[in-house]
Chain A
Amino acid sequence: MIALRVNGTEHGVAAPPATRLSAVLRDHLGLTGTKVGCDAGDCGACTVLLDGAQVCACLVPLAQAEGRAVATVEGLAASPLGAALQAAFQAHGAAQCGICSPGMLMAAMELLASTPRPDEAQVQAALGGVLCRCTGYRKIIEAVLAVGRASVAPPAGAVGESLPRLDGPGRLDGTELYGADTAPADALWLRPIRSPYAHARFVIGDATHLPVRLLTAADVPGRNGFGIYPDIKDQAVFAPGLARYRGDCVAALVGERAAVEAVRWDDLPITWEELPPQGAAAALSGPALHERWPDNVLTTGRLRSGEAAPPATHTASGEWQTGCVEHGYIEPEAGWARRVGDQMEVFGCTQAPYMDREEVAGVLGLAPAAVRIIPSACGGGFGGKLDVSFQPLLAVAAWVTGRPVRAVWSRGESLASSTKRHPASIQASASCDAAGRLTRFAFEGLYDTGAYASWGPTVAGRVPVHCMGPYRVPFVRSRARAVLSNNPPSGAFRGFGVPQAAIAQEMLWDQLADQAGLDRLEFRLLNALRVGDTTNTGQTLEASVGLVECLEALRPHWHALRAARCSTGRRRGGVGVACMWYGIGNTGMSNPSTMRLVLAPEGRLSFFNGAVDIGQGSTTVLAQIAAEALGLPVAALSLVLGDTGLTADAGKTSASRQTFVSGRAAQAAGAALRDAILLRANAGANARLTLADGVLRVDGVALRLDAPLEGQGSFDPPTVALDADGQGLPYATYGFAAQLAALEVDLELGTVHLQRIVAAHDVGRAINPMLVEGQIQGGIAQGIGLALMEEYLPGRTENLHDYLMPSIGDVPAIDCILVEAREPLGPFGAKGIGEPALVPTAPAILSAIRDATGAVVRRVPALPHRVLEALREQRMGEALREQRSGVAS
């Protein structure tokens, strides 16, 4: 027994002295508020106070906590300072998915205990050891700075009001349950066995010597394959003899936890034959990775628009390469499954419960109705939790053992196995006339889709439609190919290939603007799409095209930032601008959502919402919409959230679609219930509803019910599938945005120092401005990562100290400007924001680097050595030009 004091309570723990304090708190004391993100001190999610000093609990052996005081998030509310800090996080929207919040809060507690009124630099130094992937840190800094200062009462939550998150409190006191936080007490453990080779044949021999069961392809009762597309189930639960990437799952150990964890690599009866791996470029002429795609081209997306290009005066062209980017959610994949008779239940983190249900049913050979998916809180997703991970493995294990089975991926396993943003190689060229009007744009994109299809077809579909950006271009030829390789499967990641394409498109505009002698912002304004324009897919935009307003809103900031550019000896200041558009919802295919409100006779008003809130705020926003349509305050709603056994299919949380699609369904559900109530009360359309003490009143008159009243709403955005030339109506509406980036480049070191981002986003209508800003700031942080530091290299950056994501000091001040060009189809005029936030950031940063130095960065991430290389090329080019002009004269 080792004694320690946690949040003032003495505990004796019977665990080995080397046990990590994080495991002691979670597994032995049940204090799961402390989260584990990496077990390596890299993410800070497990930050607790040890005798008042912040430490990563994953780096503290139990023995060293003996006799000491440990403070965790569960104890915060008991102290006035802790409660004030939690309140500030809630009021300022500092928690999104909430997985980093306990660590952030504890780090802030250490600071505030010694420095009650810190400045921003002190906050950054104190919180610098905790990574957040959702918020972009700005609201966290605001919250810490606001502690102890006067606060205003939160609004009731009408549409347009910054209602604090409804699910916020549980994320700030440690009670919210994520995938790794709970499981049946008798659950077995599952540990996947993954290929350490990018490409290998393997044979699994007799495993009877192992103390636990080894599950292999032979144990899968149904189809040994899963995948996003109904007709592409190419990724095996357990690969049958051929591993196609480092991290491919070949088998799994299942048994009691200690026995599973005691198995060593060398104990495994697996013999490997390494095969030469191929990247996407080589795969175009290499042997087929899958029989089904002999040329390794998974999908080709095309767009042909315009018969002939108008005459042009200026032309620019270039090639760009983007890196393999990890989603980097701080919550690794985790959950549990149990067999209930001939049915299966799976609990865990996900973005797409109904799609998980299909996959689990498929691998078990069951009807979907025999599977129930119960989503846990989701500690970040960004597209990475749209694909299944643990679900099919746990379902197979629970099915064949008859026991509940749980699993928690380690960080290294999560990095190795999960999908990534497609690395892209892009060639593009564009022309404009003498006045700067765009005449043509050509785009050829090679997207490395990795070992399995995942969302590759979606990326190849979206890119050709978006790659010319939100501009009037009379003649476009674009092609994007998703090519299979022995890299990790590339899947869905915030923007589905569009952020990569936007880099090429916006860099060309800068070159053309210079050639035409136009201001770069005015060049974009001149060419910007407007209401009434027809896009290159042949779609006429009838409403809600706010790009011009975005650019006009940025103009004063543009001039001010440009005037303030400061160039000292070794540093050069620059300001960049970039725009984007983004189709909300699936591309040219159905993606419905259904929402339901039920008023029970005893007065309980339940909102059945199957949309998974992965931190972006749909739980709050959809409640605001439903309540507004119904005519009652948000507080009147009891929430029943995403569970395929209780809620209807709201579709996946992706494609920036929940506010728009599910929001419209929620609005319809609210209106339907209101109609039902008014009909029953025989009241007029403007009647006022109230709900108090279980009694609904219509214009003050109590409404008696003997049966529940229900309002259901569905919405499926109207689209027309694209034809072979990319013609059709791919999306019912589009988000538009423009961002500015101001920065300095160190000419000698190639380092980039961001100073400010100004982001103007047309969101149709900001249902909850604070949450919209949170999405914008978080998207920008990921855009910064894409531009400047993130690059996943299998086997080399398989942890969060070698794979770099922006830390608190890497995100500059951000000004958000919300433009509201109402979308008639959207709920109260709203459309999506999740992905649009990220798309323009990287091109704006590259635009600013070029403005500062003249150098065109052609490969992201723009690590210092690459920027310096680009600067050298730029200087050599200049010298050559001078030499030539010297010869000519």
Chain B
Amino acid sequence: MALAIVSLQTIGCPGMDAYLRPRTLDDALRLLAAAPGCQVLAGGTDVFPARAGAEVWLRRDDRPLLDISGVAGLAEISETAAGWRLGALVTWAQLRRAALPPAFAGLCEAARQVGGAQVQNRGTLLGNLCNASPAADGTPPLLTLEAGVELAGPAGTRVLPLAAFLLGNRRTALAPGELAVALRLPRPPEGAHGGFLKLGARSHLVISIAMVAGVLVVEGGQVRAARLAVGACSAVAQRLPLAEAALLGAPPDPARLRPEHLAGLAPIDDARASAAYRQHAALVLLRRLVEQLA
């Protein structure tokens, strides 16, 4: 078994008592089973900032790190008959460079807008989901792509729809000993186009006030399929079935979207915006997205 377990006593990273770097998925799962309390590390773009924030007040995360970045076979984007599989180590930058159908345009746009180039080079899509921030830029576009999350664990592999994987603010359906190993993206309907709009108070490096994603199929001037999702306006980004239904079977008219279609959102007041503003902005952004995709 190729793995490294190192105990630490020296400078630079107090509290990190062990660092595990398996090379195979089997090893990773074995380690995770043996040390279920460890924290999984891939690109580090969420793990290290959280630790820095805690250390300001001498609160330290002592969980051992399970670094999956060396696990073979997790960094690929592969196309199958059913769709695409994005391994857990696929980064935003890697996604951006991949040849993907127009339905993925929203996801690729999110990849351009998340963090700065440094974060895009290191951060992984799946890590963004596992971090389960309400403002995760990846969630709305992946919801509209009807992504599934492939989980590997002691009991084998299962695939959860993304909406079932994300349970709340910083909460996922990962069971003890389970590792999220891939995203499964089903082949989108013929003619589908995707989009993504992000709203923040500065141009780069910004956490969203709100963001929306959509995938539409417009044929013969009529909306044949519609998937819309809103992020940063509830504990977990959501699809909007009422809004989607309102668009179906009619020309793609932004005015068909009404405030009541956003009834399921529950935005909060915070330093970035007020709840009322978020609710309002979500509708404006959705209408613009429909306009863009029409």
Contact = CB atoms under 8 A, between A and B. Distances in A.
A759 B186 CA distance: 54
Interface string B200-234: 01111111010000000000000000000000000
A829 interface: no
Nearest to B207: A801
A47 B205 CA distance: 14
Interface in A744-758: 748-751
A137 to B, nearest CB: 11
Contacts of B58: 191, 193, 263-265, 268
B19 A18 contact: yes
A198 to B, nearest CB: 14
Contacts of A38: 52
Interface in B34-66: 41, 43-45, 48-49, 52-53, 55-60, 65
B173 to A, nearest CB: 26
B60 to A, nearest CB: 6
Contact of A411 (B10, B52, B67, B280): B52
A304 B84 CA distance: 74
Task: Decide if the interface of chain B is mainly helix, strand, loop or mixed.
Answer: loop
A559 to B, nearest CB: 29
Contact of A39 (B11, B48, B122): B48
A436 B75 CA distance: 69
Contact of B67 (A64, A749, A807, A809): A64
A58 interface: yes
Given A17-B4, A126-B117, A806-B202, A796 B271 contact: yes
A514 interface: no
Interface string A49-66: 010011110111101100
A42 B206 CA distance: 9
Interface string A106-122: 01001000000000000
B204 A17 contact: no
B11 A261 contact: yes
A531 B65 CA distance: 69
A868 interface: yes
Contacts of B119: 41, 56, 59, 129
Interface in A196-222: 196
Contacts of B117: 54, 107, 110, 125-126, 128-129
B19 A412 contact: no
A108 to B, nearest CB: 11
A19 B21 contact: no
A128 B19 contact: no
B12 A23 contact: yes
Given A20-B48, A59-B118, A63-B4, 18 more contacts: A17-B19, A18-B8, A18-B13, A18-B16, A19-B12, A58-B52, A265-B57, A410-B55, A410-B56, A791-B271, A793-B271, A802-B271, A806-B202, A809-B204, A864-B281, A865-B273, A865-B276, A868-B277
Chain A interface category by residue count: 35 or more
B74 interface: no
B48 A41 contact: yes
Contacts of A261: 11, 14
A16 interface: yes
A259 to B, nearest CB: 9
A588 B274 CA distance: 44
B24 interface: no
A16 B203 contact: no
Given A54-B121, A56-B118, A15 B11 contact: yes
Interface in B91-130: 93, 112, 115-119, 121-122
B9 interface: yes
Return the 4 tightest CB-CB contacts between A and B, nearest first.
A129-B116, A809-B203, A412-B56, A128-B204
B284 A412 contact: no
A750 B210 CA distance: 13
Interface string A680-697: 000000000000000000
Contacts of A58: 48, 52
B272 interface: yes
Contacts of A19: 11-13
Interface in B177-219: 199, 201-207, 209
Give the residue among A20, A268, A416 with the most B Cβ atoms within 10 A: A20
A130 interface: yes
A802 B206 CA distance: 8
B6 A16 contact: yes
B44 A64 contact: yes
Contacts of B112: 125
Interface in A6-46: 15-20, 23-24, 27, 38-42, 44
Nearest to B203: A809
Contacts of B43: 59
Interface in A805-823: 805-810
13 contacts: A17-B21, A59-B49, A59-B118, A129-B115, A258-B9, A258-B10, A265-B59, A412-B57, A750-B277, A799-B49, A806-B202, A864-B277, A868-B280
Given A17-B6, A63-B67, A799-B53, A864 B199 contact: yes
B172 interface: no
B131 interface: no
A61 B44 contact: yes
A799 B205 CA distance: 13
Contact of A47 (B44, B118, B199, B284): B118
B203 to A, nearest CB: 3
Nearest to B93: A53
A71 B127 CA distance: 26
Contacts of A126: 117
A16 B10 contact: yes
B49 A748 contact: no
B8 A128 contact: no
B205 A59 contact: no
A865 B277 contact: yes
B60 A264 contact: yes
A804 interface: yes
Contacts of A27: 11-12
A364 interface: no
A410 B52 contact: yes
Interface in B60-83: 60, 65, 67, 69
A397 interface: no
Contacts of A69: none
Interface in B120-173: 121-122
A126 B209 CA distance: 23
A429 interface: no
Contact of B201 (A193, A264, A804): A804
Nearest to A52: B121
B223 to A, nearest CB: 22
B272 A128 contact: no
A861 B201 CA distance: 10
Give the residue among A124, A129, A791 with the most B Cβ atoms within 10 A: A129
A234 interface: no
Contacts of B45: 41, 59
A807 B203 contact: yes
Contacts of B274: 865
A808 B52 contact: no
Interface string B256-280: 0000000000000011111011001
A865 B45 CA distance: 29
Nearest to A60: B44
Nearest to A24: B12
B13 A16 contact: yes
A796 B150 CA distance: 35
A18 B273 contact: no
A109 to B, nearest CB: 12
Interface in A852-889: 861, 863-865, 868
A838 interface: no
B213 to A, nearest CB: 17
A20 B13 contact: yes
Contacts of A793: 271
Nearest to B284: A748
A807 B206 CA distance: 9
B206 A804 contact: yes
